[in-house]
A and B are shown apart, each in its own frame.
Chain A
Amino acid sequence: MPSPEYTEANYVEGRRRKSSSSSFRPIVFFLVPLFSVLLDIFLPRFVESARTLEFPLLITIYFSLMKRQPIAGVAIGATIGLMQDSLSQQPLGMFGIVKTIVGYFAASVSLRFDVNNPALRFMLCAFFFVFHQFFYWVMVRALLGQVPNINGLDELVRALLNSAVALPLFFLLDKLREDGS
């Protein structure tokens, strides 16, 4: 008896979802993550409160959701995370691992939900932000032996704020999709 994953219905459903994955031009895939990392280091120079925003994470979530491919999510998360690590003072891999996992799960979630819905986008962004911060805290504590000072309520507020920023940002990024939806 074949595995449920390989039933014909699932195969058709998988094909349908794959076919609904968004495609972007390579230049967009190159520039937008780069630009997000750049904003992460550039904006706080002029606006101190911009440190609250986590643009690389939002871009990771967006591309992972839109690609609907866990492997693509892993690649996007790992690339953006490592780039963010490269511009920080911490060892390479901290953000890389966290964003890899976020990318994987975001892509996995997108296979089951309509990620074009703004309300769902908002909730997913908030969830993945909290997930990202929590996993990062675990990583720093477990791998580096440090205890980052993280306040739960603050992180919740930051999650809502990032989700609020994510909605117009995602709307703008939707304009760069080749399918034009």
Chain B
Amino acid sequence: MDGFLGRYRNLSVLVIVIMAQLVLLAVQVKNNQDVRLIRVWAVTAITPLARVLEGIRANTFGLAGEYWQLIEIRSQNQTLKADVDRFKLENQYLKEELATAKRVEAMASFVQRNPNKTIGARIIGAGAGMNSKVVFIDRGSTSGVLKGMPVITPDGIVGKVTASYPTGSQVMLITDPTFGCGVVSDKSRVHGTARGQGNNQLLVDYIQNEQAVQVGEIFYTSGDDRIFPKGLPVGPVRVSREGKLFKEIYVAPAAFEKGLEEVLVVLEGVHQQILELSQITNVGPEAKPMAPPLPDSVALPLDATPKQNPNQRFSTEADRLVDRYKAIGEQQGLSYGNGGRVPNFNAPVSPRVAPPKAAPTAVPPVKPNPAGSAAPAVVPPKQ
């Protein structure tokens, strides 16, 4: 036996090793479980080496990979920066377009409601000189713009055309020291003249110290200057104090608050009713229906017409007062201008009913409320 093993030693070792492994296999297959010890040895031997190899890889190939990634990221970063710059420009452009669209929408809304015949224009340049208060617009005589025409925005008056050329016009702004226009306040109905000061404020001149003008009141054009139609906003009072001869009232031009880009040139002006303070925001896209009529102290609706003149519409407080006094005289059987006793002006005035023939479309009188004022009626805008 020893001789055989010695003679076929190599083959014997091979067979023994293979047999041993076959037994090992058979045991595993039969018991359906591993020989855990051998696997533990193998894994224990492999793991430290694997850790070293992974460390080498991470610090060499990984570093190289990260370096290449860094180069790629740098390139991507440059591309992204260029994209961001492009998007910023696009965003700025779109914001500008949006703002323009909003302004144009507000202006279109204003033009629809505004009885004045206007034409839109864009400001294309400012006048030469440091203290210049003139601008140039892109509408000229070929578009019907003539010297002296008022220039406005939905927020207020801007100025007037001082020179008209075929393709453009020069507009003097209301802040120019030589500019002046007639104005009236919405609350106290005080008339004055707004003058430019060369800065961002207007001085309302020729108002007596005794007259009360409060800060926050809005001045409108009065139409006295024959340039601006009545009823266009000028701006709110910022300062109101007593002066030597006249009150010193400074008004901030409302048209300049949002900057000037698009304006309207009034080709044909129409005088309008001046709104109350609470209604001055009634411009722009948020515009509500036109303002209700001014409260009538005798509780007469605005559409109710007097006996004498069925077609007459009262437009001022004085007209209403005259009508009230006439009604009181008629009630008490007195006629004015003939002497005699004085009527009792404090006596209540019964509402008059318009004669059917004279005013077939008269609105029935509105029941006065406890405050003595009529319920507001909606008046359609003048077109």
A contacts, CB < 8 Å to B:
3, 5, 31, 34-35, 37-38, 41-42, 46, 70-71, 74-75, 78, 82-83, 85-87, 91-94, 96-97, 100-101, 104, 108, 143-144
Contact at A92–B45, with CB atoms within 8 Å? no
A67 CB, min distance to chain B CBs, angstroms: 12
B13 CB, min distance to chain A CBs, angstroms: 5
Determine which of A38, A70, A96, A104 lies in contact with B46 in the assembled complex, contact meaning CB atoms within 8 Å. A38
A111 CB, min distance to chain B CBs, angstroms: 10
Contact at B50–A97, with CB atoms within 8 Å? no
Contact at A97–B22, with CB atoms within 8 Å? yes
Q: Which residue of B lies closest to A105 (CB)?
A: B14
Determine which of B9, B11, B17, B50 lies in contact with A100 in the assembled complex, contact meaning CB atoms within 8 Å. B17
Determine which of A42, A70, A104 lies in contact with B50 in the assembled complex, contact meaning CB atoms within 8 Å. A42
B contacts, CB < 8 Å to A:
7, 9-11, 13-14, 17-18, 21-22, 24-25, 28-29, 34-35, 38-39, 41-43, 45-46, 49-50, 53-54, 57, 61
Residues in B whose Cβ lies below 8 Å from that of A93 = 21-22, 24-25, 28
Contact at A82–B17, with CB atoms within 8 Å? no
Contact at B14–A92, with CB atoms within 8 Å? no
Contact at B35–A92, with CB atoms within 8 Å? yes
Complex A-B: 22 CB contacts under 8 Å: A3-B7, A5-B7, A37-B42, A38-B46, A38-B49, A71-B9, A74-B17, A75-B17, A78-B21, A82-B21, A83-B42, A87-B39, A87-B46, A92-B25, A92-B28, A92-B35, A93-B25, A93-B28, A96-B21, A97-B21, A100-B18, A100-B21
Q: Which residue of B lies closest to A5 (CB)?
A: B7
Cα–Cα, bound, A120→B193 (Å): 116
A17 CB, min distance to chain B CBs, angstroms: 13
Contact at B14–A101, with CB atoms within 8 Å? yes
Contact at A78–B50, with CB atoms within 8 Å? no
Cα–Cα, bound, A90→B22 (Å): 14
Q: A91-B29, A92-B28, A94-B25 are in contact. Are A37 and B46 (CB under 8 A)?
A: yes
Residues in A whose Cβ lies below 8 Å from that of B57 = 46
Residues in A whose Cβ lies below 8 Å from that of B29 = 91, 143-144
Contact at B41–A78, with CB atoms within 8 Å? no
Residues in B whose Cβ lies below 8 Å from that of A5 = 7
Shortest 5 CB-CB contacts between residues of A and residues of B: A86-B42, A70-B10, A93-B25, A93-B21, A91-B28
Q: A82-B42, A97-B22 are in contact. Are A70 and B35 (CB under 8 A)?
A: no
Contact at B14–A91, with CB atoms within 8 Å? no
Q: Which residue of B lies closest to A75 (CB)?
A: B17
Residues in A whose Cβ lies below 8 Å from that of B39 = 86-87, 92
Residues in B whose Cβ lies below 8 Å from that of A92 = 21, 24-25, 28, 34-35, 38-39
Contact at A38–B35, with CB atoms within 8 Å? no
Residues in A whose Cβ lies below 8 Å from that of B41 = 86
Residues in B whose Cβ lies below 8 Å from that of A70 = 10-11, 13-14
Residues in A whose Cβ lies below 8 Å from that of B50 = 38, 41-42
Cα–Cα, bound, A97→B50 (Å): 25
Cα–Cα, bound, A82→B34 (Å): 13
Query: Which of A31, A83, A86, A97 has the most chain B CB atoms inside 10 A of its CB?
Result: A86
B199 CB, min distance to chain A CBs, angstroms: 75
Cα–Cα, bound, A148→B4 (Å): 38
Contact at A34–B45, with CB atoms within 8 Å? yes
B29 CB, min distance to chain A CBs, angstroms: 6
Contact at A35–B14, with CB atoms within 8 Å? no
Determine which of B14, B24, B43 lies in contact with A104 in the assembled complex, contact meaning CB atoms within 8 Å. B14
A55 CB, min distance to chain B CBs, angstroms: 13
Cα–Cα, bound, A70→B53 (Å): 32
Residues in A whose Cβ lies below 8 Å from that of B24 = 92-93, 96
Contact at A34–B49, with CB atoms within 8 Å? yes
Residues in A whose Cβ lies below 8 Å from that of B53 = 38, 42
Given contact pairs A38-B53, A144-B29, a sample of 12 additional A-B residue pairs in the complex whose CB atoms are under 8 Å apart: A38-B46, A41-B46, A74-B10, A85-B38, A86-B42, A91-B29, A92-B21, A92-B28, A93-B25, A94-B25, A97-B25, A100-B14
Residues in B whose Cβ lies below 8 Å from that of A42 = 50, 53-54
Determine which of A87, A97, A101 lies in contact with B42 in the assembled complex, contact meaning CB atoms within 8 Å. A87
Cα–Cα, bound, A5→B7 (Å): 9
Cα–Cα, bound, A86→B35 (Å): 9
Contact at A35–B25, with CB atoms within 8 Å? no
B206 CB, min distance to chain A CBs, angstroms: 92
Q: Which residue of A lies closest to B41 (CB)?
A: A86
Contact at A82–B9, with CB atoms within 8 Å? no
Query: Which of B21, B24, B34 has the most chain A CB atoms inside 10 A of its CB?
Result: B21
Query: Which of A46, A71, A75, A87 has the most chain B CB atoms inside 10 A of its CB?
Result: A71
